Amino acid sequence: MSDQKGRMLRGDLYLADDPELTADRQRCRLLVERFNATSVTDRQQRVELLRALLGQFGDDTEILPPLQCDYGYPIRVGARSFINYGAIILDCAPVTIGDDVQIATGVQLLTATHPLDAAVRRSRYESAEPISIADGAWLGGGVIVCPGVSIGEDTVVGAGSVVVRDLPPRVLAVGNPCRVVREL
């Protein structure tokens, strides 16, 4: 494993143009391209491609194309979960999606971040923070989950919300920035 890949996986600043990371992204793009080109009638091929792409793909889980991600291997999806059309998962850090999770259309899970210091940013360093979505959560259409956020068990996030901080279990949360409006 290259030093830069190790740094990325640890959440440290890293250079994404590292040859091993570049090769990993190319492998991912090819698998994603094949997945996104599958026929609606070829569920088995989709499952096989997702098992090759992702770090974990749970039983009875379904992801509908198109899907976009950077690496694939940091993504773990539990059993019986559903990810609808148009998901974007920037997976430079681990993305953990639990069992029985529902993710609506156009959701973005964004682990990637960049330094606030302009000089460091200009030197092409970046970093990432993990995202975790607990069992039974439901993310409405167009939700954006920002780096480092955890969403609690059975929590519902309303359509169009931008989640910038952790959400506790069993709440309804909406808005930009997303905030808890009531317990469930």
Give the residue numbers annotated as catalytic, written as ranges: 114
Whether the upstream peptide bond of residue 66 has omega within 30° of 0, thus cis, is yes
Structure tokens at 88: 């974007």
Is residue 31 a contact partner of residue 51, using CB atoms and an 8 Å limit?
A: no
b/e per residue 46-77 (b: at least 16 CB within 10 A): bbebbeebbeebbeebebebebebbbbbbbbb
Q: Are strands 138-139 and 131-133 parallel, antiparallel or unpaired?
A: unpaired
